[in-house]
Amino acid sequence: MSDQIQNLTDATFDEVIGSADKPVVVDFWADWCGPCKQIAPILEEFATEQSDRFTIAKLDVDANVAIATKYAVMSIPTLLIFKDGQVVGRLVGAKPKGAMLSEITAVL
């Protein structure tokens, strides 16, 4: 995982999201999830290419059940877009890079 992608946990989630100075796209994923692995390189690219617009973070749903439950994450991958600490967008499933970027920037 890129050092530009922040790894979140149940313990760190609220603090990181609440103190973010720009929107945060959180990838809810699991190690066994094929589509999660499919979008991982795209998120790595976003972490570098879009770093001036938003931050990328990841949360392993198997290790951090409380936050996944709090935000009703039922399918993975799910990307939640947080702005000023609030969810402003939700993307479910793997999508091509262009489609993903369009959906993210549409809610920013």
pLDDT tens profile 46-92: 999 999 999 999 999 999 999 999 999 999 999 999 999 999 999 99
Q: How open is the CA angle 53-56-57, to the nearest 5 degrees?
A: 150
> By three-state DSSP, how is residue 41 classified?
helix
**Domain topology for 6-106:** Glutaredoxin (3.40.30)
Note if the pTM is more than 0.85.
Answer: yes
- Catalytic residue numbers read 33, 36
Distance CA 43, CA 79 (A): 10
| Residue 11: φ, ψ to 5° | -75, -30
Where do the domains of the chain lie? 6-106
Q: Which H or E element spans position 75?
A: none
Residue 3: which residues within 8 A CB-CB, separation 6 or more?
A: none
